[in-house]
Amino acid sequence: AQKITQTQPGMFVQEKEAVTLDCTYDTSDQSYGLFWYKQPSSGEMIFLIYQGSYDEQNATEGRYSLNFQKARKSANLVISASQLGDSAMYFCAMREGRAQKLVFGQGTRLTINP
């Protein structure tokens, strides 16, 4: 079974609008971590935000926030006031238990239109 599912292969958003990128996960562990990474066209992987399974509040990092709904097993990334530079691939990833390994989703390609 797919551990991380990103159902939106591509999204197109107008500049300055907010955008939500979906991520659902599957795990039986009580302790896990969820990550979002950005990959611009230059290819590097950039860490954006982290949410721990025991964290009671949703994580926020500047314009990025994570809408964590534990019962639904979803960890959606919200980007407020999108900018042209936000155009990139976005990957959701999960770390289970004490393992350090990450499992990645297939990614969502976000395009911000001026």
Partner 1 sequence: IAGITQAPTSQILAAGRRMTLRCTQDMRHNAMYWYRQDLGLGLRLIHYSNTAGTTGKGEVPDGYSVSRANTDDFPLTLASAVPSQTSVYFCASSEFRASGRNNEQFFGPGTRLTVL
Contact residues toward partner 1 (CB under 8 A) are: 4, 31, 33, 35, 37, 43-45, 47, 50, 52, 91, 93, 95, 97-107
CB of 4 to partner 1, least distance (A): 8
Mapping DSSP onto H, E and C, the string for the chain reads CCCEECCCCEEEEECCCCEEECCEECCCCCCEEEEEEEECCCCCCEEEEEEECCCCCCCEECCEEEEEECCCCEEEEEECCCCHHHCEEEEEEEEECCCCCCEECCCEEEEEEC
- Which is nearer to partner 1, 49 or 79 (by Cβ)? 49
CB of 103 to partner 1, least distance (A): 7
CB of 13 to partner 1, least distance (A): 21
